[in-house]
Amino acid sequence: MSGMGRRDLLRNSLGVTGALLGGISYEKKTLMEQLVDQSGYDKVKEPVKGLQTGKFGQYDVTRLIIGGNLISGSAHSGELIYQSALMTHYFNTAKIMETWALAEQNGINTTLMRADPHIMKHYTMFKREHGGKLQWIATSAPEQGDPVENAKLARDTGAIGMYLHGGVADTLVKEKKFDELGRIIHGIQKTGIMAGVGAHYVDTARASEQAKVNPDFYMVTCNHLNYYSSEAAEVSTFMRSIKKPWIAFKVLGAGRMLPEEGFHKAFERGADFLAVGMFDWQINDDVQIVRDMIAKGIDRERAWS
């Protein structure tokens, strides 16, 4: 290339891009910068070592848990009607096996996924045919019927726990069906696995405590965008009174926040674990971010589980 090398062109292009994008959102800025700089796409990254763990009942669970919504095609995506088909086509059997293997190579030891036939089939395959060791925390799948019966199937497939789907728990609390909420949680516990209450809003967790439902853990959303979540400060204040493990989800507002920001804020507000949906090419970076920020220390009032 005469007069200007490729690196000079790239540097100048990035400089112009940075100047033009000063007032644009993180999302759009990141997308446009990647159109210019794709230099890291094909690099093979060394696996991250040393991801921290916390206590989840009798189990040691990594602070970062790989979620399953992308694999199930149920990730939030605004009004994109093709999103579910896109995700399920991308995550074919080979890609699911590859993604879980990458999670393990980078120190993640737990996944959180729906208790449905598609997931159970692939999880069984991963363990039996690929020697996978990932622990599984199940999400009750509403279309599968009674959550207690759903928990039995999850247990028999290897799940260490199951939480009642947040949308279902929110509805039960809204309708003041506390006896039904208690029946489900106690029924899951009787199957021999840990039982949790999922909640998109802190009122669901608060009502669970007031009704003495006594789950083993909570799965509560936390992000400062109020995306399917109560005000972050309200969530943080309430969860400081809870000693049970707290898995936070939607910590990136369904892809609307950068990991460095969303992860740190969720941990700072008291979350013990983060359940995050990740593509294969995001795993290494996300684990690195979590490991490094915990190693540096996070200013939080709630004690770690």
The residues of the chain that CATH labels 3.20.20.100 are 52-296
Contact 201, 230 (CB under 8 A): yes
Q: Where are the alpha helices (DSSP H) in the chain?
A: 6-20, 26-36, 69-72, 83-90, 93-105, 117-130, 147-157, 166-174, 178-190, 202-210, 232-239, 259-268, 283-296
Quick: pLDDT tens for 73-100: 666 555 666 667 777 778 899 999 999 9
Q: Is 78 left (phi over 0), alpha (psi -120 to 50) or beta?
A: left
Q: Which of 128, 131, 129, 132 is nearest to 108 (CA)?
A: 132
Q: Is the pLDDT of residue 17 over 50?
A: no
Residue 77: what residue type? Answer: S
Indicate the pTM of the whole model: 0.85
Q: Which of 166, 163, 162, 172 is nearest to 211 (CA)?
A: 172
Instruction: State the number of CA atoms in the 13 A half-sphere of 81 facing the CB.
Output: 0
* Alpha carbons 111 and 135: distance in angstroms, whole number: 6
Q: Strand pairing partners for 163?
A: 139, 196
- CA quadruple 57, 62, 66, 67: dihedral sign: positive
Q: How confident is the model at residue 34 (pLDDT cuts 50, 70, 90)?
A: low
pLDDT at 69: 79
Fold of 52-296: TIM Barrel (3.20.20)
Average pLDDT over residues 229-255: 91
Quick: pLDDT tens for 249-298: 999 987 778 999 999 999 999 999 999 999 999 999 999 999 999 999 99
- CA quadruple 251, 257, 258, 262: dihedral sign: negative
